Amino acid sequence: MTHRRRDTIVSTLPRLDQFDFHAHIARISGPALVVFTSPDCGSCHHLRQVLSEVRSREPGWCVFEVDAQTESGLTNEFEVFHLPTIFLYNDGQFHCQLDAEARPLSIISTTHKALRAPATEAP
């Protein structure tokens, strides 16, 4: 869910920054989706809403947001060139970049499928 304030979209997804990203992700058990977004990205706004729905359908999953503009160090580390971009972690370990249509059921099924495959190396 998002709220509109003075023409700015405010996300309700928990945010991670360069100072807490790796430590926070390392403590998570189970799947975690990390989406890189930008405040002025229309596709990012839509995906935030979709991911809020994913959270309600998969309550055991964690979903986080990284502002690609303010967290340029993480954006560079993960070689993010297009927004939004979703990365999948499982049990604190990087699993893969997730490529799915921006619909709750598509993201959920793509995540389940990705979790059956071996993890890949972090960018």
The 10s digit of each residue's pLDDT in 75-95 is: 999 999 999 999 999 999 999
User: Does residue 75 belong to any structural domain of this protein?
Assistant: yes
Q: Which domain holds residue 61?
A: 2-116
- Structural domain includes residue 18: yes
| Tens digit of each residue's pLDDT (9 = 90 or more) over 24-42 | 999 999 999 999 999 999 9
Residue 122 lies in a domain: no
8 belongs to a structural domain? yes
- Can you give the CATH number for the domain in which 66 is found? 3.40.30.10
Q: Is 121 within a domain?
A: no
Q: How far is CA 38 from CA 64, 76, 90, in A?
A: 13, 14, 24
> Taking the model in full, what pTM does it have?
0.89
Residue 99 lies in a domain: yes
pLDDT at 1 > cutoff 50: no
Structural domain count of the chain = 1
CA distance 82 to 3: 24
